[in-house]
Amino acid sequence: MIDRSHFEKLDQGDSLAFARDRFRVPEGLVYLDGNSLGPLPTHVPGRLAQVAEVEWGQDLIRSWNANGWWELARAVGDRLAPLIGVPAGSVIAGDTTTVAVYKAAAAARRLRADRAVILTDSGNFPTDLYALSSVAQQFDAILKVVEPGEVLGAIGDHTAVVCLTHVDYRTGRRHDMAGITRAASAAGAVMVWDLSHSTGAMDLDLSGADMAVGCGYKYLNGGPGAPAFTYVHERHHESFANPIAGWWAHAEPFAMAPAFLAVNGIERIQVGTQPILSLAAFHSALEAFDGVEPGDLRRKSERLTSEFIDLVEADLPEFEIVTPRNPDDRGSHVSLAHPEANRIMRTLIAADVIGDVRPPNLLRFGFAPLYQRFVDLWEAVDRLRHIMDNDHWRDAPDPRGAVT
Ligand SMILES: *Cc1c(COP(=O)(O)O)cnc(C)c1O
């Protein structure tokens, strides 16, 4: 096995090592699931207590104006904008990722109402496929689902919308964002990206893209059930139509006018009153990225995934690495196939190494560059090797609960 000291040295040379202290990760726990639920930033509980005690408890309804509640979704978006590489004022938080996909895809479809096809790929997250299929049914379009490698060839003059998830939640395969966006634009299609497994782990080049959505509780550490976010390019701010007209997107919400008149701007994608406590947690959590460049995150993420792949190749030959070997083709998690994936992961979790499983046979390990230590990789592989050598997985603890 590669020596532990190699990983200790990598930690010593890690220019992002300072950010680890911005999080509470329980002592002794090797947490490799920040791609599913980011850990708690240390300063968030204090901020949440203040919002509850002072803003809600004392200031009450005055907080909408006095404490910035009305603009909070937009303030979260402005903190996200540099992480996504887009201008402030073009991102806003709200709803869930599924709802955000639905709204963006429906708005995109209506920008190209003259064309029939919404194009996506079979590796997309199932909820995205469900939402896109709803859009196709309700807005008179055809949902075309192709293999991930066939997307470029499938874009044509019938394509109204291309909607893809940048990094595959199972395999970690990453689409060529710039190349596909260019092809979609050249064909006159509207390009919508889902950045759920990207934002917070890498730099992004959305130039030319029309819209994007993403998840708040993964690499962004916004907390369980944190609101999602939506980006809309400024060129559409006065023209796109939200499929659900609601008062938070009204030009004058407090005029209480009987007719809907959409506001110009990113607020147009909003619907109704936002969950202020969750938005406050998300807003505060994003301070953990202060002073961190997305390019630095990407460099460290590449190194983390490469080092992990090397370790697995050397020490865990019974596992098949399904994540692309070329760093340009992968995101920030690595998936290993094994017929006993479920029992092995349950045993590993019992040994305080937390990853997760995805059907049919994948063990998934996420490496969040903001706080991950390199020694965590060594610890995970060491404990996994021990479990395999001793057949401990045969006595795996019973599965508990509905969530994998
Ligand atoms: C995590 C994730 C979601 C989650 O959707 P919710 O509506 O927030 O539950 C959706 N799409 C992708 C691609 C994801 O990775």
Whole-angstrom Cα distance, residue 31 to residue 349? 10
The owner of tokens 């404990």 is 383
Interstrand relation of 190-194 and 159-165 (parallel, antiparallel or unpaired): parallel
| Residues written for the chain | 404
The pTM (predicted TM-score) of the whole model is 0.98
Digit-coded pLDDT (tens) for 133-187: 999 999 999 999 999 999 999 999 999 999 999 999 999 999 999 999 999 999 9
Q: Of 83, 85, 141, 86, whose CA–CA distance to 111 is shortest?
A: 141
Give 210's contacts (C-beta < 8 A, 6+ positions apart): 108, 111, 190, 191, 192, 232, 233, 236
Give the residue among 56, 41, 170, 188 at the shortest CA–CA distance from 111. Answer: 188
pLDDT band at 398 (very low <50, low <70, confident <90, very high): confident
Ligand 1 site-directed mutation target among 97, 165, 166, most atoms within 8 Å of CB: 97
213 forms beta bridges with 194, 230
Q: Which two tokens stand for residue 50?
A: 């203040």
Annotation marks residue 254 as catalytic = no
CB 132 within 8 A of CB 163: yes
> Predicted confidence band at 48 (pLDDT cuts at 50, 70, 90)?
very high
pLDDT at 404: 82
Closest Cα partner for 161 from 137, 187, 179, 138?
Answer: 187
Residue 15 and residue 296 in contact, taking contact as beta carbons nearer than 8 Å: yes
**Residue 96 CA, ligand 1 centroid: distance in Å:** 8
Residue with tokens 């690595």: 334
Helix axis angle, 294-315 to 4-12, nearest 10°:
180
For residues 137 and 127, what is the distance between their CA atoms, to the nearest angstrom?
Answer: 15
Residue 172, sorted as left (phi over 0), alpha (psi -120 to 50) or beta, turns out to be: left
**How do residues 248-303 score in pLDDT, each as one tens digit?**
999 999 999 999 999 999 999 999 999 999 999 999 999 999 999 999 999 999 99
Distance spanning both ends of the chain, measured CA to CA? 30
Tell me, using a 6 A CB cutoff, whether residue 129 lines ligand 1.
no
Host H or E run for residue 121: strand 117-121
136 lines ligand 1 (CB under 6 A): no
Chain-centroid distance of CA 97 in Å reads: 9
Q: Which atom of ligand 1 is nearest to the CA of 216?
A: 8
Catalytic annotation, pick one of 22, 174, 364, 373 = 364
